[in-house]
Amino acid sequence: MSGRETTGSPARQSDAVIYDRGYRSYEGERRGRGAIRRAIARDGIRRILGLRRKARRKILPWSLLVIGVVMAAVIIGLHFVAGSIAAGIAEGLPSYPHLFDLYSRVALLLIAVTGPELLIPDRTQGVLSVYFSRPMRVSDYLAGKLFAYLTVAGAIYVVPQILLHLGLAGLSDDGFLSYLGSNLDVLWKIPVVALGFLAVHGGLLAILSSLIDRTGFAAAAYLAILTAGNGIAGVIADADFPGSSFVALLALDDHARVVRDWVFDVSLGLYRPQEEGFEPWVSAVAIALVALIGSWFAYRRYRKQA
């Protein structure tokens, strides 16, 4: 360590020293791959939400999150007002399965705008050459990113539903705890249905993010496939040629809704796969396949990059 004296007052001259700290080797704790995956997930969450980024990166995700919470509050308020007038009116208001329709639109936008940011810039800006020089594997990197996606996008589906659940419990004539006790099944149905939406959306996003190098194009392709894809698949499925009904399975966004109706045991609409006679379990398998194919695409692409 080297130092030199400052030119302070004569009385203090010998006390004040400026040190060049130089370089000190790190002798502290070194954690394993689990901690590295958590670090990647934390960074992914920050990236989706625009935290520690420029202000313009925060606008859209936080606006959508606020919209999501406000929507939940409005619905709880409607239940409160309707319940105070007549119980029959409250029963006609949107409930858990309906909310998935509502929030899938919010999530669709959030995932379209922020999802490609999770994977594409690391690849196109060359940052992967730094990341993969660290003691981790491609699977650790992708697991961290997946956790970030599930946390934020999952929160959009689950948090308002939980708020609604607690709100309805608070408004229940049977009492808060009694309502929660008699509706325990909601607590597993909400995450399962949310996972269905997240799997089909995330799988598609992983495929597009692996193939496309521009975040804007990936977002546009994602929105186009999920919004126009159902209609196009329906038109082709209606055409009269052998095996045309299988094209209905390409209506990706409908699969999550079929599974939602299956899980909540309701019928909120007749979706393409159902119109062509496919059982709900086929939609569950289709969702799992999209998620698997997305994982495979991402793994292949990023392994090659490493």
Partner 1 sequence: MAPIVITESLTHAYNSEVVALRDFNLAIEAGVTGLVGANGAGKTTFLRILLGLVHPTSGKVTVLGDDAIADPLAVRARVGYMPENNCLPKDQTAADFVAYTAEMAGLPTADARRRASETLFLVGLEEERFRFLGDFSTGMAQRVKLAQAIVHGPELVLLDEPASGLDPAGRQQMLEIIQRLGSFGINVIFSSHLLGDIEQTCDAVVMIDGGHLIRSGPVSTVATTSVVLVDVLGDAATLANSLTAAGVEALTLTEHRLSFTVAADEDYDRVRDAAAELGIGIFRMAPISHTLEDEFLVIARKNES
For 53-118, the three-class secondary structure string (H helix, E strand, C coil) is: CCCHHHHHHHHHHHHHHHHHHHHHHHHHHHHHHCHHHHHCCCCHHHHHHHHHHHHHHHHHHHHHHH
- Given candidates 77, 126, 175, 216, which one binds partner 1 under the rule CB under 8 A? 126
How far apart, in whole angstroms, are the C-alpha atoms of residue 118 and residue 110?
12
132 lies in the site for partner 1, by CB under 8 A: yes
For residue 5, give the 3-state DSSP assignment.
strand
Per DSSP (E only), the strands in the chain are 2-5, 17-20
Q: Is 285 exposed, middle or buried (0-12, 13-18, 19+ CB in 10 A)?
A: middle
Q: Shortest Cβ distance from residue 26 to partner 1 (Å)?
A: 3
Site for partner 1 in 141-200 (CB under 8 A): none
Is residue 129 a contact residue for partner 1 (CB under 8 A)?
yes
Residue 298 CB, shortest distance to partner 1, in Å, is 18
Quick one: which segment of 15-23, 207-215, 221-229, 253-261 binds partner 1 (CB under 8 A)?
15-23
For residues 203 and 291, the answer to whether their CB atoms sit within 8 Å is yes
> Interface with partner 1 includes 131 (CB under 8 A)?
yes
Answer yes or no whether residue 35 interacts with partner 1 by CB under 8 A: yes
Asked if 22 touches partner 1 (CB under 8 A), the answer is yes
By CB under 8 A, is residue 133 in contact with partner 1? Answer: yes
Q: Which of 58, 83, 89, 121 binds partner 1 (CB under 8 A)?
A: 121
Structure tokens at 76: 């709880």
Is 125 a binding residue for partner 1 by CB under 8 A? The answer is yes
**Nearest distance from C-beta of residue 289 to partner 1, angstroms:** 31
For residue 30, what are its two tokens?
């070194």
- Name the packing angle between helices 252-264 and 186-211 (round to 10°): 170
| Among 64-72, 76-84, 129-137, 181-189, the segment contacting partner 1 (CB under 8 A) | 129-137
Residues in binding contact with partner 1, number by CB under 8 A = 37
Cβ distance to partner 1 smaller for residue 4 or 56? 56
**Six-digit token pair at 209?**
């993010």
The only residue of 137, 217, 275, 288 in contact with partner 1, by rule CB under 8 A: 137
Q: Indicate which single residue of 134, 177, 214, 235 sits in contact with partner 1 (rule: CB under 8 A).
A: 134
Tally Cβ neighbours within 10 Å of residue 19. 9
**Segment (H or E) for 257:** helix 252-264
Q: Does 280 bind partner 1 (CB under 8 A)?
A: no
Question: Of these, 27, 173, 240, 265, which contacts partner 1 (CB under 8 A)?
Answer: 27
3-state secondary structure (DSSP) of residue 20:
strand
- Return d(Cα 153, Cα 163) in angstroms, integer: 16
Site for partner 1 in 39-98 (CB under 8 A): 39-40, 43, 52-54, 57
**Which residues of this protein are in contact with partner 1, per CB under 8 A?**
21-33, 35-36, 39-40, 43, 52-54, 57, 121-122, 125-127, 129-137, 306
